[in-house]
């Protein structure tokens, strides 16, 4: 065996026991497979090929114990590599063709080399229309409006575009360049998705969102109707008729005057109208015309421009009418509005325009006005205290709310309603006895629903028992009578003069407020400005609803 043979072959020599006796350098690279060599040797297999270790094996003879290892030639290795490359290519081909997205491969000149079945399904273009053709040609023929591949080649970078196809399809195409080792573009791979389907899904999502929004609004509306602060409790036929009338006129913009004594729930009816009107998503602005001094009422309603009067804001101020634009303006105690201001309200109703105080340019408004009063506007019109034209403009659909004493059927349902609301608010579990309910039902309630609500709250919160009985209500009615007389009592002789005078002033203020329908008329009887009366009420913590 010469030197050349030794240098090209691997040689393993075994002893009589089958152990290594000698191995050359080439053979040492294959010793991992020695057990395989040995088993074949013992089976007297003289020549075979092991592809897993890329070599040919020759067993010289059993007696000599010599194994020759011939590594496969470069040609064999190249063939094997080509076979492996073909297998990889076939696998990639299968992956590309099984993709849900459309895939198109072109060369660096824009020539289409391959398209998968999904591309044909998405676009409606058959492979015969595309493969072997240049994308420039497809653009010129109008098959596609513009090519992502050509843009990627021009920009030397990836691009994503919306593409229109002459089959009527719209697709989203992402073109990604494939580069060689030097960085030059060899091919361009396009990923194509059907925008038509995506747009359809987007439309469906939008429809679902709109449906969800509608359901949300309906649930909100139901929740509002169940809200104790917005709910209207009625058992009597008179009150049910009032509610039905309010619901009928909710979606029209005709003039409405709500009439009724203080505390009957005029504001509740306004809330009901707004909640069921076409303007329910727009503002509901409320203002008590009798609680604001005459010299301020106009600027509150119409706003003012900069520098209109002393003390005015430099930026001017938007009025409540304009703030209620597209919504509803509730003018409570409309009977207390001055005659000169009534003319301007009439203009709002007829011309749909306002002019801010100190301004010269009218502003267009779209507002529905609902008025309310506890006074007899007919009598005021006859006496010249209320404009006849404004009265008839507002009083197209009158709503008259009867006092609680004329609808005693509502007393017990209202009592349970207020009791439930208080229990939930304060985490209580109060109940009310039948004798108390009967006492409440028989009472005349000069303060109407507001007085009933105050009384229920008082006996619930002041009683330590879970069941409210006659003793509790007797005590509170007794306290009311004491409160009615307390102002006439002479203070103790040793009280300071300031306290003595304050008690007398409180007495007179309460008496005049009780006697008159509004703060403005009460102030006139006291010979003071309305603003002075309001300031004194704040000082003594007096509220109209508590006094009346």
Summarised one tens digit per residue, pLDDT across range 377-427 is 998 999 898 999 999 999 999 999 999 999 999 999 999 999 998 999 889
What are the residue ranges of helices labelled H in 427-469? 434-442, 448-462
Q: Look up tokens 């076939």; give the residue.
A: 90
Q: Look up tokens 């063709």; give the residue.
A: 97
Q: Look up tokens 């603003």; give the residue.
A: 531
**The pLDDT of residue 82:** 55
Q: Which sign does the torsion angle of CA 353, 385, 449, 394 carry?
A: negative
Domain extents for the chain? 3-72, 95-197, 237-399, 406-480, 497-547
H/E stretch holding 70 reads strand 66-71
Which residues of the chain register pLDDT less than 50?
1-6, 75, 228-230, 481-490, 492
Structure-block tokens of residue 258: 């709500």
**The pLDDT of residue 41:** 74
Supply the DSSP symbol for 33: G
- 95-197, superfamily in CATH? PAS domain (3.30.450.20)
Structure-block tokens of residue 71: 């590594």
Q: Are 115 and 165 in contact (CB under 8 A)?
A: no
pLDDT in tens, 499-519: 677 778 888 888 888 878 788
Task: Provide the angle, in degrees to the nearest 10, between the axes of the packed helices 530-539 and 519-526.
Answer: 100
Q: Are 490 and 504 in contact (CB under 8 A)?
A: no
What are the residue ranges of helices labelled H in 311-356? 320-323, 339-351
Residue 134, helix vs strand vs coil: strand
What architecture (CATH level 2) is domain 237-399? Answer: 3-Layer(aba) Sandwich (3.40)
Cα atoms found within 13 Å of the Cα of residue 67, Cβ hemisphere only: 35
CATH class (in words) of the domain with range 406-480:
mainly alpha
């Amino acid at each position: 065996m010469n030197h050349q043979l030794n240098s090209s072959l691997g040689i393993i020599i075994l002893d009589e026991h089958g152990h290594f006796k000698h191995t050359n350098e080439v053979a040492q690279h294959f010793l991992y497979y020695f057990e395989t060599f040995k088993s074949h040797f013992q089976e007297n297999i003289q020549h075979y090929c092991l592809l897993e270790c890329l070599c040919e094996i020759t067993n010289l003879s059993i007696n000599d114990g010599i194994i020759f290892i011939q590594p496969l030639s470069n040609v064999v290795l190249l063939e094997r590599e080509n076979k492996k490359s073909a297998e990889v290519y076939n696998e990639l081909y299968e992956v590309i063709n099984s993709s849900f997205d459309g895939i198109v491969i072109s060369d660096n000149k824009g020539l289409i080399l391959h398209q998968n079945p999904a591309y044909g399904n998405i676009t409606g273009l058959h492979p015969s229309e595309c493969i072997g053709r240049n994308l420039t040609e497809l653009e010129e023929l109008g098959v596609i409006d513009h090519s992502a591949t050509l843009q990627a080649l021009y920009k030397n970078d990836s691009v994503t575009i919306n593409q229109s196809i002459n089959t009527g399809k719209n697709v989203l195409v992402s073109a990604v360049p494939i580069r060689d080792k030097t960085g030059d573009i060899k091919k361009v791979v396009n990923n194509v998705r059907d925008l038509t389907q995506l747009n359809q899904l987007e439309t469906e999502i939008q429809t679902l969102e709109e449906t969800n929004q509608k359901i949300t609004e309906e649930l909100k509306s139901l929740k509002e109707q169940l809200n104790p602060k917005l709910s209207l409790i009625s058992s009597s036929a008179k009150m049910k008729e009032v509610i039905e009338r309010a619901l009928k006129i909710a979606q029209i913009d005709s003039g409405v005057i709500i009439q009724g004594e203080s505390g009957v729930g005029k504001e509740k009816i306004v809330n009901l109208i707004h909640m069921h009107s076409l303007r329910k998503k727009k503002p509901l602005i409320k203002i008590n015309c009798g609680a604001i001094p005459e010299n301020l009422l106009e600027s509150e309603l119409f706003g003012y421009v900069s520098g209109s009067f002393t003390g005015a804001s430099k930026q001017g101020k938007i009025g409540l009418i304009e703030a209620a634009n597209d919504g509803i303006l509730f003018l409570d105690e409309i009977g207390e509005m001055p005659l000169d201001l009534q003319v301007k309200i009439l203009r709002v109703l007829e011309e749909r325009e306002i002019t801010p105080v100190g301004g010269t340019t009218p502003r267009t408004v779209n507002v529905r006005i609902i008025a309310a009063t506890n006074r007899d506007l007919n009598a005021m019109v006859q006496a010249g205290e209320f404009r006849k034209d404004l009265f008839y403009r507002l009083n197209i659909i009158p709503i008259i709310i009867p006092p609680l004493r004329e609808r005693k059927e509502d007393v017990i349902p209202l009592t349970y309603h207020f009791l439930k609301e208080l229990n939930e608010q304060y985490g209580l579990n109060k109940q009310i006895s039948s004798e108390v309910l009967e006492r409440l039902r028989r009472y005349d309630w000069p303060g109407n629903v507001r007085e009933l609500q105050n009384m229920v709250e008082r006996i619930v919160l002041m009683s330590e028992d879970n069941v409210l009985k006659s003793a509790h209500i007797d005590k509170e009615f007794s306290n009311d009578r004491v409160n009615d007389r307390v102002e006439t009592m002479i203070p103790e002789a040793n009280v300071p003069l300031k306290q003595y005078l304050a008690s007398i002033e409180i007495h007179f203020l309460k008496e005049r407020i009780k006697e008159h329908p509004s703060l403005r008329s009460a102030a006139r009887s006291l010979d003071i400005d309305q603003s002075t009366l309001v300031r004194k009420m704040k000082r003594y913590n007096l509220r109209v609803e508590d006094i009346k």
